[in-house]
């Protein structure tokens, strides 16, 4: 195979594999959050802090937002956790926290965690991956 053959195959292959891996990671997170919301316990909590920073890379910038939440679990223990999301929650805002009793700090998530946005991203990335697969097959057949 020469360079003229490798590039038309490698490019769609890259566009197929990378979005598929990212979609897999997001899908895994969505499944975990759905499991916690369906089978976990709930507790009233509140936003303790809202933080944001601007990240610059390659001439463009994006804003990262995360929140620190706190709640009291079923055993009466105070639990704090951090969640990154682009939700509009001010400090002191009450939230519903979902968590697994065996790991409150490691499993805690809010009902405002952006689950629908994550699901939409999985669908978009899966479509990009499938389109790249079609381009790869067409390239190989021609």
* Sequence spans of domains, the chain: 11-141
Average pLDDT over residues 110-123: 59
Q: Which pLDDT score is estimated for 8?
A: 64
Nearest-angstrom CA–CA distance, 5 and 2: 6
Residue 20 · residue 27 · CB < 8 Å: no
CA-CA-CA-CA dihedral for 57, 58, 60, 64, to nearest 10: -10
Stronger pLDDT, 119 or 13, i.e. the higher one: 13
Half-sphere exposure of 139 (CA within 13 A, CB side): 16
Stronger pLDDT, 137 or 32, i.e. the higher one: 32
Q: Which pLDDT score is estimated for 111?
A: 74
Q: Summarize pLDDT for 9-59 with one digit per residue, the tens.
A: 666 667 677 777 777 777 787 788 889 989 999 999 999 998 888 877 777
Is the pLDDT at 140 greater than 60, yes or no?
Answer: yes
Nearest-angstrom CA–CA distance, 104 and 29: 17
Q: Summarize pLDDT for 73-105 with one digit per residue, the tens.
A: 999 999 999 987 656 788 999 999 999 999 999
Nearest-angstrom CA–CA distance, 116 and 120: 6
Q: What are the backbone dihedrals phi and psi of residue 126, each rounded to the nearest 5 degrees, phi first?
A: -65, -40
């Amino acid at each position: 195979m020469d360079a003229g053959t490798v590039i038309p195959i490698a490019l769609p292959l890259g566009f197929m594999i990378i979005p598929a891996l990212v979609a897999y990671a997001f899908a895994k997170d969505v499944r975990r959050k759905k499991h916690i919301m369906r089978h976990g316990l709930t507790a009233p909590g509140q936003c303790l802090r809202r933080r944001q920073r601007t990240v610059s890379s390659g001439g463009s910038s994006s804003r990262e937002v995360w929140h620190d939440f706190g709640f009291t679990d079923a055993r009466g223990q105070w639990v704090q956790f951090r969640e990154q999301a682009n939700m509009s929650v001010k400090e002191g805002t009450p939230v519903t926290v979902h968590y697994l009793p065996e790991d409150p700090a490691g499993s805690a998530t809010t009902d405002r965690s952006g689950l629908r946005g994550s699901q939409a991203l999985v669908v978009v990335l899966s479509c990009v991956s499938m389109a790249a697969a079609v381009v790869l097959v067409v390239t190989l057949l021609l």
